[in-house]
Amino acid sequence: MSHTGQWNARLNLFEDDDGTTKARVVLDTGTTALTGHGTAHCSPTDTNVPEIGDELAAGRAMRDLAHQLLNAAERDIQGMTANRLNAREPLGWPM
C-alpha cells in the first residue's frame, strides 16, 4: 500500500504590548484544517529576548496541534475498530 501526500503548515507569531507572545499554527491537510495555539510570557524580572518567546509560543502551538492530530487519529481508529469488530476482521494501528 503506497501513499504519498503533502500537508502545509503556516505558523504566525504575535507579540502584545505586555510582553506576551502568541503563536498560531494552521495545518491544512487538503481535506481538513487544524489550528494549534500557544503563548509565552516574559517575566518582568527576566531580560526580554523575543526569540525565546517565539520558540516557547511556537513549540506550545505545535504541541497543541500534535495533541489534536493524535486525538483525531484515535477517533478514526476507534471508528474503524467498531466496523472491524462487526465484520470480525483483525485489528491494527495500535496507539
Q: What is the mean pLDDT of the chain?
A: 89
For 89, the grid coordinates are 476482521
Domain with 63 in it: what CATH number?
A: 3.30.160.240
Establish if 1 belongs to a structural domain: no
pLDDT in tens, 28-72: 999 999 999 999 998 889 888 999 999 999 999 999 999 999 999
pLDDT at position 90 over 80: no
Tell me how many domains the chain contains: 1
Compute and round to an integer the Cα radius of gyration of the chain.
19
Which residues span the domain enclosing 58?
8-87
| Long-range pairs, 89-92, Cβ under 8 A, ≥24 | none
pTM: 0.80
